[in-house]
Amino acid sequence: MFDKILIANRGEIALRVIRACREMGIRSVAVHSTADADAMHVRMADESVCIGPPPSARSYLSIPAVISACEITGADAVHPGYGFLSENATFVQALEDHGITFIGPSSEHIRIMGDKITAKETAKSLGIPVVPGSEGGVPDVAAARQLAAEIGYPVIVKATAGGGGRGMKVAKSEEDLEVAFRTARAEAKAAFGNDEVYIEKYLQRPRHIEIQVFGDGKGNAVHLAERDCSLQRRHQKVFEEAPSPAIGEAERARIGGICANAVARLGYSGAGTIEFLYEDGEFYFIEMNTRLQVEHPVTEAIFGVDLVREQIRVAEGYPLSFTQDDLVVNGHAIEVRINAEKVPGFSPCPGRITQYHAPGGLGVRMDSALFDGYTIPPYYDSLIGKLIVHGRDRPEALARLRRALNELIVDGIDTTIPLFHALLAEPDIHSGDYSIHWLEKWLARKFGS
Ligand code: MV4
């Protein structure tokens, strides 16, 4: 059993992990930059350590600073949250070398999934359906041209080291291919210092559907159904729900079974998410995230499980506390991301919160580190809260979302709250008929740009 866990993160996710630690009787250590000395995660933890100046590179992303904080406080384990060091294999290796447990998968599994070609090859070899495309990297334009002709246009050129949509270019026909190939390669080089690219069939109107998986690191694994995260803007998720309005029970069991089986065979430990594009009834693997995701609460809501508690238990060496048969979907959950941003341009809006009031009542969860008088620093992500609602079915969840948004008060800055009121007036949101392009098209139509 862990006696003390250090949380290498800030904001709502640091609080989320501290809450799980409290319920499990485990002491918590917060780390913070000088900009976060008065942040809620620092107040809520049992102890705290200042690990550096405001820029993340010198605090939350500094491996020596975080490891020193573990040594000083005698922490047994580190929970990385999401972002920052959560998918950094070098960090996990450093913790392993110091005899500190990383609450997450092995550095080896993180490394495999961080390289998109290796991830895809691994997924394919484990029986997961993948997007048709090149086998491995594509060396030059001539090879790209040959492959694209075989795959059929449109195609997409992607960076091996990619993620978050950077270094990704679509070629509608052969005329576009050379420019797409060279631009993707140049962007990949600039963004990741690795110019390797690969090619896939471009899916034109898919949904983004991701399967939550959990492994015990000893060859046992389960799936916790899917989340539909198709509503995104510039690769930033805005609205997420579970289950997907597009997936039926039999389909869920089939793709979930494939994912759980793959994760079991990998010997994967902890929480993971297998991301798919879904079009015309088919799933196509795109990547696997080896961390707890921002949107994990919608999965927690429909299954009534605590995924952070489960992560900690598995890291301690305990078996999973549920079997696949225990995991039955109950109702519908929706999360909306409350960002300190001005709609419609989505420019960041840090500043002082003059008044904060969280919504409540049946089926409402507000995960946020805000409080009255808090000043949002300009250095970090603009996510300031997640409103999660749960209902017996999707219409009830949507009604509850509208009701909860009306109760939520965040005064003093601009937020994405008005965006959600506007979205709730859209018939497509109520019918669930949207693809990954719906939100950007709607924003362009509604606000111009
Ligand atoms: C694709 C695609 C269409 N076809 N791959 C974007 C980020 C990266 N994780 C994968 N992405 C895409 N890959 C093929 N073969 C379209 C996207 C994509 C996308 C995917 C998920 C959610 C939003 C998106 C927005 C634009 C493009």
- pLDDT tens by residue, 203-217: 999 999 999 999 999
Residue 180: per-residue pLDDT: 96
How far is residue 421's CA from residue 183's CA, in Å, rounded to a whole number? 38
- pLDDT tens by residue, 113-166: 999 999 999 999 999 999 999 999 999 999 999 999 999 999 999 998 887 778
Closest CA to 284 of 395, 401, 131, 145: 131
Residue 422: per-residue pLDDT: 98
Q: What is the mean pLDDT of the chain?
A: 97
Residue 449: per-residue pLDDT: 59
Going by alpha carbons, the residue nearest to atom 14 of ligand 1 is 202
Tell me the residue ranges of DSSP E strands in 143-194: 155-163, 166-171
The length of the chain is: 449
Query: Is the separation of the CB atoms in 337 and 232 below 8 Å?
Result: no
Q: What percent of the chain shows pLDDT beyond 70?
A: 100
Residue 94: per-residue pLDDT: 97
Going by alpha carbons, the residue nearest to atom 23 of ligand 1 is 436
- pLDDT tens by residue, 159-186: 988 877 788 999 999 999 999 999 999 9
Residue 163: per-residue pLDDT: 75
The Å distance, Cα 165 to ligand 1 centre, comes to: 7
- pLDDT at position 448 over 90: no
Closest CA to 237 of 338, 350, 87, 351: 338
Closest CA to 305 of 217, 386, 224: 224
Residue 89: per-residue pLDDT: 97
Catalytic residue set: 291
DSSP string, 281-319: TEEEEEEEE-S--TTHHHHHHHHT--HHHHHHHHHTTPP
For the entire predicted model, the pTM comes to: 0.97
Task: Please choose from 275, 277, 279, 280 the residue to mutate so as to test ligand 1's pocket, defined by most ligand atoms within 8 A of CB.
Answer: 277
Name the pLDDT band for 188 (thresholds 50, 70, 90).
very high
165 CA: nearest ligand 1 atom: 7
Q: What is the dihedral of CA 121, 179, 235, 118, to 10 degrees?
A: 10
Name the pLDDT band for 3 (thresholds 50, 70, 90).
very high
How far is residue 289's CA from residue 164's CA, in Å, rounded to a whole number? 12
Residue type at 18?
I
- pLDDT tens by residue, 363-422: 999 999 999 999 999 999 999 999 999 999 999 999 999 999 999 999 999 999 999 999
Name the pLDDT band for 234 (thresholds 50, 70, 90).
very high
Task: Please choose from 87, 130, 131, 156 the residue to mutate so as to test ligand 1's pocket, defined by most ligand atoms within 8 A of CB.
Answer: 156
Instruction: Tell whether omega for the bond before 243 is within 30 degrees of 0, i.e. cis.
Output: yes
Closest CA to 212 of 293, 317, 104: 293
- pLDDT at position 69 over 90: yes
How far is residue 112's CA from residue 363's CA, in Å, rounded to a whole number? 38
The residues that bridge with 337 in the sheet, in sequence order, are 386
Residue type at 394?
R
Phi and psi angles of residue 115, each rounded to the nearest 5 degrees, phi first: -100, 110
- pLDDT at position 354 over 90: yes
Residue 75: per-residue pLDDT: 98
The pLDDT of 238-258, averaged and rounded, is: 98
- pLDDT tens by residue, 294-336: 999 999 999 999 999 999 999 999 999 999 999 999 999 999 9
| Site residues for ligand 1, CB cut-off 6 Å | 131, 156, 165, 168, 200-203, 208, 232, 235, 277, 286-287, 436
